[in-house]
Structure 1
Amino acid sequence: MTRIQANLLLTLVALIWGSAFVAQQQGMADVGPLLFTGVRFLIGAAVVLPLAMAEWRRLGRERRPLTRADGWHIAGLGGLMTLGAVMQQVGIQHTSVTNAGFLTAVYVPLVPVLAWLLLRQVAHWSVWPAAGGCLVGAFLLSGAHELRIGLGDLWVLGSAVPWAVHVLMVGRWADRMGAPFLVACGQFAVCGVLSLAAAFATEPVRWAGLQAAAGPILYTGVLSVGIAFTAQVVAQRYAQAADAAIILSSETLFAAAFGAVLLGERLDTAGLAGCGLMLACILLVQLVPLAGTLRRRRILTNPSN
């Protein structure tokens, strides 16, 4: 898979996540955030399980079984996913969707910063203005012109840290193991079990609530988790972590589009400007490095020019 193909697949992931925002909003009316998170991630694990089992058998035939360290890495990804998903869901209960949408986007500039601090990876120069532009675009799109930090805002802001680390590490570990479906299934299962255990300990768990939220749970479990998160793991084996963060931030743009179509929401001038700025940043982070690569190839092919 080429870098462009990986970036296009990540764009599809962002589109699915944007559409799932509507289902998540509707499902939260009947169940708590921990129960919703736990059930949908277990459904996602079940969707990927056949592919994971086939991959396990293939690794056995190739005499490349996963090690105990690989298992700990998968568990670590599941723990990061649990922290990010649950903290965000808890925060949304105590803040506006506007504030939550802006604060979640903080993970975008965090990824290249953490890549530099933790892995000493120097990102292409285009990542930095694109990350800042995406953050400004999310601010305009959310309409958070008078942002006030409350308890819910702090929960959502805190969720940006585990999401950023997850984006940074998922491609690195999946590529090292050569088992993207096992990584995806494993992290989903860990997130689902941890969230469900916490739900039984802290939330009212009622069958009637699960029945009422069955549609949103199935939609987000199959598409948002089973398909989109798995595609993220596959694509990030071939995409730069900072690029992935920028592209995945377009989830906000797609959420606005689906909100307009399905819920009748309309964007003001600032929101439209935010959409345009985010789209420009997504194109910037993909096209500028590609242009540089093509220029270097042309120079190597025709050194006299």
Structure 2
Amino acid sequence: MSKQTANLICLLVAAIWGGGFLATAGALEAFDPFSVLMIRFIGAAIVSWIVIKVKKLKVTKEALIKGSISGVLMYLAFAFQTFGLDLTNTGQNAFLTSVNVVLVPYISWFLFKRKPMGIQVFASFICLAGIACLSLSSDGFHFSFGDLLSLICAFFFACQIISLEFATKNCDSTVINTIQMSAAAIVSIPFALILEDFPTSIDTNVILSCLYMICIATWLAFQLQTLAQKYTDASSASLLLCTESLFANIFGYFLLHEEKTLTMVFGGLLIFISVILVESSDRIKPVLAKLKRT
């Protein structure tokens, strides 16, 4: 698989996550936030193990360790995002969570001494500016304790994306995804059972929302992300995955008929430009190197 194909898969994952907001909202009509996390990860883990059994894949010790680390980081990111969302507004939570697109290149640089390309750094800030336009155009910006939790969430999402790049080097992507889903499911159980109560009745719409959230927005999306990160770098993946806010706004406009401002349209354009920059980075790099030599 080429890097361009892997990047397109990351865009597909972002689109799935963008549409997944609708399913999550449906599940939240009956379940509390941490119960939703437990349902999505336990359900996705069950689907993952079925795939493992059908494909007769072997779970190695290396995959078990690497996948577990990625799964715990993933759950911590979702947990801090949930805590943060409870204490701040949705726009700022989405914006601050997306700060991971800026953090990833520098964390990778610190851990692996791999200096990011200038165009990747530039594209990440362009993307972040676009997300700010989409998320903050109506609510403004003020910093609270909930915002701090959202920033911690962004840090863990960045670490999870980097850990997946490391985990998929010598391990099967399906096995890694199965282990990370299982680890997230195990960690999610105490939070849901201790902090929340289950509803006494569940209607059909909630069940369908949970099925989409489990099978499509969680298992399939993370399976595709894990596969793609075997062939693309963490910096590019983090930027492309952050376009979920763009897709969420597109789906909100066409399916829920939400009103969009010119500022939000401008934000979508900035995100689109950042994607083009990342997609063309491999073509631009040789040109820049040639110019330096001359």
TM-score normalised per structure 2:
0.92
- Indicate how the Cα distance of structure 1 residues 58 and 151 shifts in structure 2: closer, same or farther if over 3 A, else same: closer
- Superposed CA deviations along residues 183-209 of structure 1, whole A, max 9, x for unmatched, are 111111111222122211111123425
- Superposed CA deviations along residues 212-237 of structure 1, whole A, max 9, x for unmatched, are 73222211111111101010000000
Measured in 2, the distance between the counterparts of 1:208 and 1:267 equals 35
Measured in 1, the distance between the counterparts of 2:46 and 2:286 equals 40
Check if 1:265 corresponds to 2:258. yes
Measured in 2, the distance between the counterparts of 1:245 and 1:44 equals 22
* 3-state SS, counterpart of residue 175 of structure 1: coil
Q: Mark the runs of 5 or more structure 2 residues left unpaired by the alignment.
A: none
Question: One-letter code of the match for 2:114?
Answer: Q
**What are the residue-to-residue correspondences of 1:55-74 with 2, within 5 Å?**
57-59=56-58, 66-67=60-61, 69-74=62-67
Instruction: Say whether the 8 Å CA contact 1:20–1:224 is kept in structure 2.
Output: yes
Measured in 2, the distance between the counterparts of 1:96 and 1:52 equals 40
Taking every aligned residue pair, what percent have the same amino acid on both sides? 26
Q: Which residue of 1 aligns with 2:34?
A: 34
Decide which of 216, 222, 225 is 2:215's aligned counterpart.
222
Decide which of 155, 161, 166 is 2:160's aligned counterpart.
166
Q: Which residue of 1 aligns with 2:53?
A: 53
- Indicate how the Cα distance of structure 1 residues 172 and 111 shifts in structure 2: closer, same or farther if over 3 A, else same: same
Decide which of 238, 243, 251 is 1:250's aligned counterpart.
243
Give 1:7 shift. 0.5
**What are the residue-to-residue correspondences of 1:46-195 with 2, within 5 Å?**
46-54=46-54, 57-59=56-58, 66-67=60-61, 69-144=62-137, 146-177=140-171, 179-195=172-188
Question: One-letter code of the match for 1:104?
Answer: T
Give 1:248 shift. 0.5
* 3-state SS, counterpart of residue 110 of structure 1: helix
Question: One-letter code of the match for 2:160?
Answer: H
Instruction: Say whether the 8 Å CA contact 2:63–2:175 is kept in structure 1.
Output: no
Give 1:10 shift. 0.7
Question: One-letter code of the match for 1:98?
Answer: G
Instruction: Say whether the 8 Å CA contact 1:130–1:285 is kept in structure 2.
Output: yes
* 3-state SS, counterpart of residue 267 of structure 1: coil
Instruction: Say whether the 8 Å CA contact 1:18–1:253 is kept in structure 2.
Output: yes
Q: Which residue of 2 aligns with 1:20?
A: 20
Instruction: Say whether the 8 Å CA contact 1:111–1:242 is kept in structure 2.
Output: yes
Question: One-letter code of the match for 1:170?
Answer: L
* 3-state SS, counterpart of residue 283 of structure 2: helix
Instruction: Say whether the 8 Å CA contact 2:49–2:178 is kept in structure 1.
Output: yes
- Indicate how the Cα distance of structure 1 residues 239 and 88 shifts in structure 2: closer, same or farther if over 3 A, else same: same
Give 1:50 shift. 2.9
* Residue correspondences, number: 290
Give 1:46 shift. 2.1
Instruction: Say whether the 8 Å CA contact 1:31–1:209 is kept in structure 2.
Output: no
Instruction: Say whether the 8 Å CA contact 2:120–2:281 is kept in structure 1.
Output: no
* 3-state SS, counterpart of residue 87 of structure 2: coil
Measured in 2, the distance between the counterparts of 1:223 and 1:212 equals 16
Measured in 1, the distance between the counterparts of 2:254 and 2:66 equals 40
How large is the RMSD of aligned CA atoms in angstroms?
Answer: 2.1
Measured in 1, the distance between the counterparts of 2:255 and 2:216 equals 17
Question: One-letter code of the match for 1:8?
Answer: L
Q: Which residue of 1 aligns with 2:3?
A: 3
Q: Which residue of 2 aligns with 1:241?
A: 234
Instruction: Say whether the 8 Å CA contact 1:31–1:210 is kept in structure 2.
Output: no
Measured in 1, the distance between the counterparts of 2:22 and 2:145 equals 24
Measured in 1, the distance between the counterparts of 2:161 and 2:54 equals 25
- Superposed CA deviations along residues 100-146 of structure 1, whole A, max 9, x for unmatched, are 12111111000001000111111221111101111111111113562
Instruction: Say whether the 8 Å CA contact 2:57–2:175 is kept in structure 1.
Output: no
Instruction: Say whether the 8 Å CA contact 2:69–2:163 is kept in structure 1.
Output: no
Question: One-letter code of the match for 1:17?
Answer: W
Give 1:95 shift. 2.1
- Indicate how the Cα distance of structure 1 residues 58 and 101 shifts in structure 2: closer, same or farther if over 3 A, else same: closer
Q: Mark the runs of 5 or more structure 1 residues left unpaired by the alignment.
A: 60-64, 300-305
Give 1:58 shift. 4.6
